[in-house]
Every structure is written in structure tokens, then in C-alpha cells.
Copies of this chain bind each other. A is one copy, B any other.
Amino acid sequence: MKKTTELAPKTIAKRNDILRFSLEVFAREGFGNTDVQIIADLANVGKGTVYRHFGNKEQLFLATAKFSLEQAAAYVTKKIGGEEQVASVIGQHGATGLLRMIGTACAEYYRRHPQAVEIMIQERAQFRESVFPTHLMHREETRGGIDDIVAGAIKTGEFRKVNIAEVTTAYADLLYGSVVNGCLEGTKSKLVKRVDAALEIFLAGLKK
């Protein structure tokens, strides 16, 4: 009969409710212009409740950013599939195919959830922290990790001998730049194409 820090189901539901609206409002208004009251109203809770759950506005935002990131990661993970599928993709299309697929998955997600991009930018602007794609990629590591993919490709001779860390970093930077600029430029609709085109060149540069 533990009365520990267990999480009551209703509590969790409320928390997620709040985060959902938090995401929406922070993305729309920006951190500075967001009134916590609005979020509370949308989530149909008192402002005090929001504060009890998250402590303060900054922590609410950070939780929101984490929440947003998790959703993106979940999408990509699901899209890419489990280890077997990853192995299968590499078998058929090589590391190139896999990396392209990951990029496309990211692009798809952000095209459909531009709010997530806004959140990333707000996070940077307010907290100059945690590089998003790193996060995303870190998630991906659980299923191979970009580093591993690159390392494998070098071993198989698909890629020329390059510094693995540099490649991973560059890959993430390219993804980040394409998504951020592409998404906010008002060309969301062409986001996937933009990322594809960029990766096509980049990945060609890794070929032997």
C-alpha cells in the first residue's frame, strides 16, 4: 500500500492535456507572449493547477519541449521500425537509404507539426540549450544510432573513410537547417522535398 510518487491516471491525463495546449499556445505565441492563463483556460484547469504540476512557466515550457520532442521521436521510430526492419532497409538500400529515410521521416513529421519547429526555436531563444536534432538522434541511437549506421557503412565500404562524429554532426546540422528554414519560410509543403534534395547531395558526398 505504497503512497509513493505514483502517478494517478487522472493526474497523468490532466498533465498531458495541459502539455497539449501548452504546445499549441507556446508555438503560436512564442514563450514571451504566452500567458499561462490561456493555457489553463484551454486545458480547463485553474492556473494554480498548472503551477502545481510544473512549478513555473519555464519548467512548463521545458516540459512542453520535451513532450514535443518525444512525439517527434516516436513518429520517426515508428516509421523506421524495429531493429529487424532497420537491418532490412540497410540490406536493401544501404546506410544511404536508411539515413535518407530518417531524414524524410523527420521532414514529414515537422511538415505536419510545424508547432514542433517553433518550440525548438523558442527553446533555443529562451534557454539556449539542448540541440534538438541531437535529441532526436539520441533517441534514434536506441535503434542503431546515426554513429552506428555510419560506422557500419564505412565497414561495408559503402561510405569512404570519414570521421564518424563529424558526419553525424553534419547530418544533424543539415537536417536542422533544412527543417527550420524550410518550415518557417512558408514552404512547409515542400519540406520533404527540400530535405530529400539536401540529403541526396550530402549522402552522395559520403559514397566511396
Contact = CB atoms under 8 A, between A and B. Distances in A.
A67 to B, nearest CB: 19
A201 B167 contact: yes
A177 B173 contact: yes
Given A32-B32, A121-B121, A125-B124, A181 B185 contact: no
Nearest to A124: B121
Contact of A173 (B32, B128, B163, B181): B181
B125 A184 contact: no
A25 to B, nearest CB: 15
Nearest to A175: B177
Given A205-B201, A205-B202, A126 B30 contact: yes
B128 A184 contact: yes
Contacts of A176: 177, 180-181
A198 B181 contact: no
Given A180-B176, A205-B205, A198 B185 contact: no
User: Quick one: copies of this chain in the complex?
Assistant: 4
Interface residues on A, range: 35 or more
A207 B178 CA distance: 21
B182 A198 contact: no
A40 B134 CA distance: 39
Nearest to A173: B177
A169 B131 CA distance: 22
Interface string A169-208: 1101111111011101100000000100110111111110
Query: Which of A166, A167, A181 is the most central at the interface, judged by chain B CB atoms within 10 Å of its CB?
Result: A181
Contacts of A131: 181, 184-185
A148 B127 CA distance: 38
Interface of A: 1-2, 30-32, 41, 44, 118, 121-122, 124-126, 128, 131, 133-134, 162-163, 166-167, 169-170, 172-178, 180-182, 184-185, 194, 197-198, 200-207
